């Protein structure tokens, strides 16, 4: 391979140029702008549309930084930790609130709300507690509820309506084929559909979250465990977990989730979260799908499985109650931002009732009572009634500053048992209590 002198000098020049480019600082764009940070999904695209109104009204350009869910927490928590000014506004996950408050990542909004007459009473209480408050259940607000979300279920209405299937089901289980209302029914219906040939394809009963890396399987399993007796700690005695996290009911809940995974999950989906569920449902692979309500507007409009073919139901209940895992995020102002005043202006604009309504219309999910509790909303979409009801029964994961190790430990223990068949559910939960005690000790709390 012979290279002429000229080529070598050209390469040298290219390299020097590269080094210079790297060393040069990036120029700031002219004119006012705000950078909004969130996760990359359908509602984020809706936000881009919504923000055009803000730009029209105020002349401030809205830039968006969206990161995929699998790296959303890693990426932004890193950013916030290093006090970067990259984001002015951030729609952060409900879990981050503890860390954000204690490490002063966000600006506390109480004064701002008072001055601008923004009342938290206009939002659903669960969203205020979940997306804005730290410590929980105290009036200290670090965000404005922006995206109300929880886990719900979709099902193939057209399959449930097929007469042959209805007859077969009735004969077998002595009741009508309807969307399940309890987890026992959910398992029955799932098993019923698994293995059948519908529209020329082998189908499976249900799709549930199994993702290992970030939060997927935890966000799924809690929907079973909450309803069988699992809770995070004794409400009377903070950080007292023994006997509550690893109660017999909690173990049973995990067993139920594992049963659903083993019998009815499509093959290969052992590390799957939101998108794979959508793919499985849209391609006609499953009869029922667990996913976030945030995706339901898109599904309802889907050309393959939307319209009349799709139905929605709330997370089924269990022996001890009916809860659904809370999702959703709140809008916060990053303390390290260089455009705090403009960012607050955006918050004020976003909180307006008209904007909240348009937000929902475009595909977001406002947490405002005025929007969600209106009659118009209930009739606006097939998932609306169950969504409103679900937002009344939500429960959230830890939002402690050290929530990440807590979450990772649960991801580890749950995935080990549910997917990798390691040990028993009781053993997994006992180990989890040990893990969590260790984390809380590091935080300086007194766990038991």
Residue 328 Ramachandran class (φ > 0 left, ψ -120 to 50 alpha, else beta): left
Q: State the burial class of residue 126 (Cβ atoms within 10 Å of its Cβ: 0-12, 13-18, 19+).
A: buried
18 binds other proteins (CB under 8 A): yes
For residue 388, give the nearest of 373, 403, 375, 400 by alpha carbon.
373
φ, ψ for residue 294 (rounded to 5)? -55, -30
For residue 372, give the nearest of 350, 390, 347 by alpha carbon.
390
Q: Which of residues 264-283 bind other proteins (CB under 8 A)?
A: 266-271, 273-276, 278-279, 283
Bridge pairing between strands 310-313 and 151-156: antiparallel
Distance CA 360, CA 387 (A): 13
User: How many residues belong to the site for other proteins (CB under 8 A)?
Assistant: 73
Q: Return the number of the residue (229 or 328) whose C-beta is nearest other proteins.
A: 328
Residue span binding other proteins (CB under 8 A) among the ranges 27-35, 178-186, 263-271, 336-344: 263-271
Q: Return the number of the residue (3 or 376) whose C-beta is nearest other proteins.
A: 3
Locate 38 and state its tokens: 């969130």
Q: Tell me the closest approach of the beta carbon of residue 171 to other proteins, in angstroms.
A: 28
171 binds other proteins (CB under 8 A): no
2 binds other proteins (CB under 8 A): yes
Q: Return the number of the residue (2 or 117) whose C-beta is nearest other proteins.
A: 2
Which of 58, 103, 242, 320: binder of other proteins (CB under 8 A)?
A: 103
Contact map string, positions 32 to 51, toward other proteins, x by CB under 8 A: --------xxx--xx-xx--
Contacts of 2 (CB under 8 A, 6+ apart): none
Q: Which of residues 356-415 bind other proteins (CB under 8 A)?
A: 363, 404-405, 408, 412, 415
Q: Of all helices (H) and strands (E), which one includes residue 102?
A: helix 97-102
Residue span binding other proteins (CB under 8 A) among the ranges 9-17, 129-137, 236-244, 245-253: 9-17
Distance CA 179, CA 157 (A): 9
Q: Return the number of the residue (21 or 171) whose C-beta is nearest other proteins.
A: 21
Which of 86, 158, 185, 342: binder of other proteins (CB under 8 A)?
A: 86
Which of 6, 21, 31, 174: binder of other proteins (CB under 8 A)?
A: 21
């Amino acid at each position: 391979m012979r290279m002429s002198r000229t080529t070598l000098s050209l390469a040298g020049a290219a390299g020097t140029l590269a080094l210079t480019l790297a060393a040069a600082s990036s120029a700031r764009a002219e004119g006012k702008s705000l950078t909004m940070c969130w996760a990359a999904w359908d509602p984020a695209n809706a936000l881009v549309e919504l923000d055009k109104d803000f730009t029209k009204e105020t002349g401030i350009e809205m830039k968006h930084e969206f990161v995929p869910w699998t790296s959303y927490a890693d990426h932004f928590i890193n950013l916030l930790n290093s006090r970067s000014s990259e984001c002015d506004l951030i729609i952060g996950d409900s879990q981050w609130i503890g860390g954000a408050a204690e490490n002063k990542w966000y600006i506390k909004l109480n004064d701002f709300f008072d001055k601008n007459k923004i009342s938290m009473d206009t939002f659903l209480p669960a969203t205020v507690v979940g997306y804005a408050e730290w410590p929980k259940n105290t009036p200290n607000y670090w965000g404005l509820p922006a995206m109300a979300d929880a886990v719900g279920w979709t099902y193939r209405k057209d399959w449930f309506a097929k007469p042959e299937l209805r007859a077969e089901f009735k004969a077998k289980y002595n009741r009508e084929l309807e969307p399940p209302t309890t987890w026992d029914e959910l398992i029955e219906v799932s098993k019923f559909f698994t293995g059948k040939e519908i529209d020329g394809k082998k189908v499976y009963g249900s799709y549930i979250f199994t993702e290992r890396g970030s939060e997927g399987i935890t966000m799924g399993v809690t929907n079973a465990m909450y309803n069988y007796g699992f809770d995070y700690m004794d409400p009377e005695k903070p950080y007292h977990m023994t006997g509550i996290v690893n109660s017999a009911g909690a173990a049973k809940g995990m067993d139920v989730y594992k049963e659903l995974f083993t019998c009815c999950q499509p093959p290969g989906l052992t590390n799957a979260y939101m998108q794979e569920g959508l793919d499985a449902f849209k391609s006609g692979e499953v009869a029922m799908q667990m996913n976030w309500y945030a995706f339901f507007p898109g599904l309802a409009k889907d050309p393959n499985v939307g319209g009349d073919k799709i139905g929605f139901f709330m997370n089924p209940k269990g022996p001890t109650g009916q809860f659904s895992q809370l999702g959703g995020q709140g809008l916060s102002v990053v303390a390290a931002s260089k455009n705090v005043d403009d960012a607050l202006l955006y918050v004020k604009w976003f909180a307006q009732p008209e904007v909240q309504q348009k937000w929902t219309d475009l595909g977001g999910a406002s947490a405002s009572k005025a929007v969600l509790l209106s009659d118009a909303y209930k009739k606006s979409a097939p998932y609306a009634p169950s969504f409103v009801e679900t937002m009344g029964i939500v429960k959230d994961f830890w939002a402690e500053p050290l929530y990440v190790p807590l979450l990772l430990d649960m991801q580890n223990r749950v995935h080990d048992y549910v997917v990798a068949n390691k040990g028993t559910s009781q053993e997994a939960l006992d180990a989890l209590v040990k893990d969590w005690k260790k984390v809380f000790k590091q935080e300086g709390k007194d766990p038991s």
